[in-house]
Chains A and B, each alone.
Chain A
Amino acid sequence: MKKQRRDWMPWTFLILAVLPFFPFNSYQIDVMANAALYALLALGLNVIVGFAGLLHLGYAAFFAIGAYACAFLNLNLGYPFWICLPVSAAVAGAAAVLLGLPVIRVRGDYLAIVTLGFGEIVRIVVTNLEPWTGGPNGLMGIGHPMIGRFNFGVDSRPYYWLLTALLALTAWICSRLRRSRIGLAWAAMKEDELAAGCLGMDTTRLKLMALGVGGAVAGMAGSVFAAKQGTVTPDSFDFIVSVMILSMVILGGLGSVRGAIVGAVILSITPELLREFAVYRMLIFGLLMIVLMRVRPQGLFGASSLKRVLHAR
């Protein structure tokens, strides 16, 4: 197979790991931790949209499910974070598969609309399931992660490292996946579902696999988010979060692992850099996005544009 393009990984993650030793203030470290969280989410969504070609507009729902699963397990069952993390990932992955079942046959733009609906439904259910989720007020007092006697606490630094480690692991898995038998089948299905079927690919199954992997990554990110904040509320998982993550994936280039990370870093840091423009911040941000997409519709590292996903055969 083609030369594996993973040479960038060790260096990139090494540099990312030592960043907190430079004299950043705690606000800047928090921005960095946030960027790492978004990068993790972008990697997960990239499996669904970039690898398998399923335009999903409700990805924040899996992030929410992961966060609430972590909160629930910690608050009600007293599970420590390190158990909540994999369990939340599994729960969110399973939820993504289950919610995928009824909509998996819908394609392109229609899938986008259906998943948007599902995303909103999850948020509304969470808001109204007061006995378990605390309703609009959310859940509070979620325990921070501990390593031995060291408590992660409220400082962003340990979370940044944790997220960077998870990011490195996920990036490595994603780039292996893309070159694997399943990854090749995803790419085939993304281009031509009928031809893929005639080659013996069970496209329904392949799509559910992508949803499962993507959902699990979101669940992982969600549980770190819950443990870091100590609280979860429904408004953290608004539709705009799904749109934001999708924008990161598209900016980086659909299907590119590097791209998803770079896209997430750019889009989560730019609004912070634009803070001095106050109310014009999001306007400038939007304009930048439009210009970028005009200049490079396939994204920074991508090969195919969103158009291809929408109108695949």
Chain B
Amino acid sequence: MPDESLLDLKAVTKRFGGVTALSSVSFEVSKGKIVSVIGPNGAGKTTLFNCISGVLRPEEGQIGFGLKKTRDSLVGCAPHEIARMGIARTFQNIRLFGQQTVLENILTGTYVRTEAGLLDAVWPWTRRAHQESHWAMDKAMRLMERLEIDALADRPAKALSYGQQRRVELARALASDPEMLLLDEPAAGLTVHERQALMDFLRALRQEGLTILLIEHDMKVVMPVSDWVVVLDHGAKIAEGTPDAVQRHPQVIEAYLGVAAL
């Protein structure tokens, strides 16, 4: 592909005691594309996300982020440093701040794009803090409207339905204006209608230049939206390619699609 890569994994290996959750996984994610990671349960998909976002540190391998000239290495960086570089993520088992309202949850997403410190809170007349909080509020409002959760703004997050919580988590991730978005099974538990809306939304985000790395089980979601698909099985990459090519790959059919097709 002639496109420039934004994320570059080289031989990433992660072990948990005796279990090798990722064994020497390498692939690249091109800027502005939707790349899906698929694989059976326990294949290591979530572990891969945890390594990229700094939640886990891989034992071996390199993870580079950014365009060629200014690439940073992510291995060894803390999650908050990686978030600052422009990677936002969601979680397979939604991790919203349940006690906080929907609006507050989304505002926490703007944390990396704002700077007000302790003194700004005490000294309320600084222009910067004032403008900044306006900007954050505005951003949160627009995202809530876009994801059709603005009516829920003042509800505590834990009171929402599953599908609503997924959208709040997505809005929270987007509130940080990321360069790259990691979505861990965003369609899980959604209705057919919600799935369709999600797919349209992902395509719209790509249109706006966002790069998306997506973990998804539902092939009806993966195949139409993905530009590129990476297949993991037992921690190893067994194939990668366009959705069509991957679907026809014999090993993939055996390891994954074969089971689903039965």
Task: Indicate whether A197 sits within 8 Å of B112 (C-beta atoms), given known contacts A181-B133, A191-B100, A213-B118.
Answer: no
B125 to chain A, nearest CB (A): 12
One of B6-14, B59-67, B102-110 at the interface: B102-110
CB–CB B122/A176 < 8 A:
yes
What string of 1s and 0s marks CB contacts (under 8 Å) between B82-105 and chain A? 111000110100011111110110
B144 to chain A, nearest CB (A): 14
- CB contacts (< 8 Å) of B201 on chain A: these are none
Closest residue to A195 on the B side, CB-wise? B95
Asked if B95 contacts A188 (CB within 8 A), the reply is no
Interface residues of A in 275-292 (CB under 8 A from B): none
Task: Kindly state the interface size class of chain B when it binds its partner.
Answer: 35 or more
- Provided the pairs A181-B116, A200-B80, A203-B80 are in contact, do residues A191 and B121 lie with their beta carbons within 8 angstroms? no
A187, B107: Cα distance in complex, Å: 12
Is A101 close to B, CB under 8 A? Answer: no
Q: How far is the CA of A130 from the CA of B33 in the complex (A)?
A: 69
Contact status A182-B99, CB under 8 Å? no
Contacts known (A184-B107, A191-B99); A200 close to B176, Cβ less than 8 A: yes
* Distance between A3 CB and nearest chain B CB, rounded to angstroms: 10
CB distance from B107 to the nearest CB of A (A): 6
Contact status A199-B109, CB under 8 Å: yes
Question: Helix, strand, loop or mixed for chain A's interface?
Answer: helix
In the complex, B217 has a CB within 8 A of chain A: no
Q: How many residues from A make CB contacts under 8 Å with B? A: 31
**Are the CB atoms of B101 and A185 closer together than 8 Å?**
no
Contact with B along A190-207 (1 / 0, CB 8 A): 011011111111110000
Least Cβ distance of B99 to chain A in Å? 6
Collect the chain A residues with CB atoms within 8 Å of residue B111's CB: 181, 184-185, 199-201
Q: What are 30 A-to-B residue pairs whose CB atoms are below 8 Å?
A: A1-B103, A176-B121, A177-B118, A177-B121, A180-B121, A181-B116, A181-B121, A181-B133, A181-B136, A182-B121, A184-B107, A185-B111, A187-B100, A188-B100, A188-B108, A191-B99, A191-B100, A194-B79, A194-B95, A198-B79, A198-B82, A198-B83, A199-B80, A199-B112, A199-B172, A200-B84, A200-B112, A203-B80, A303-B99, A304-B99
Chain A residues at the B interface, C-beta cutoff of 8 Å: 1-2, 173, 176-177, 179-185, 187-188, 191-192, 194-203, 209, 213, 303-304, 313
